[in-house]
Amino acid sequence: MTQRFHIIPAVFIVLRKNDYIFLLRRYNTGYSDGHYTLPAGHVEAGESFHDAAIRELAEETGIVVSPQQVHAVHTMYRYRKDEPYLDVYYEVSAFEGEPENKELHKCDHAEWFPIDALPEQVLPYIPFMLENVRKKYLFSEFSCEWKHTHL
């Protein structure tokens, strides 16, 4: 009998201001340090994806939003080193205040980047997701280990 694996639930938040998105550079985490990513994190036990997105955005950037300000835009099955993830991407474009890096022990830089000119050192599934959102694809699959990605 084939053994089933457990999927790790995660959320990513596209904090958007016009044609810019807010990215954080990973630092001292042991995973892709030096690469930019969106505010993100794991869904905790008993927590919904939506609530996790709101919590992670506040924890990592200081931006507090209501549930109505957070909109799911994409879902991705992501496979990394025998760890399958189910990532739900949310967009927040209506918010007050200016985001900042609230987790200095995990990120060493935060900045707004033009959505069409992301830094070279960005996690590869971020531009892949943004392209899928632009095309209005609701679901994709991604792995650096596969020879190609799936839409």
Check whether 150 has a pLDDT greater than 60.
no
Residues 1-55 pLDDT 10s: 677 778 999 999 999 999 999 999 999 988 889 999 999 999 999 999 999 999 9
Residues 62-118 pLDDT 10s: 999 999 999 999 999 998 777 899 999 999 999 999 999 999 999 999 999 999 999
**Parallel, antiparallel, or unpaired: how do β-strands 8-17 and 40-42 relate?**
antiparallel
Collapsing DSSP to helix, strand or coil, 60 comes out as helix
Q: Is 26 left (phi over 0), alpha (psi -120 to 50) or beta?
A: beta
141 token code pair:
């699959």
Q: Which domains does the chain show, CATH number per domain?
A: 8-142 (3.90.79.10)
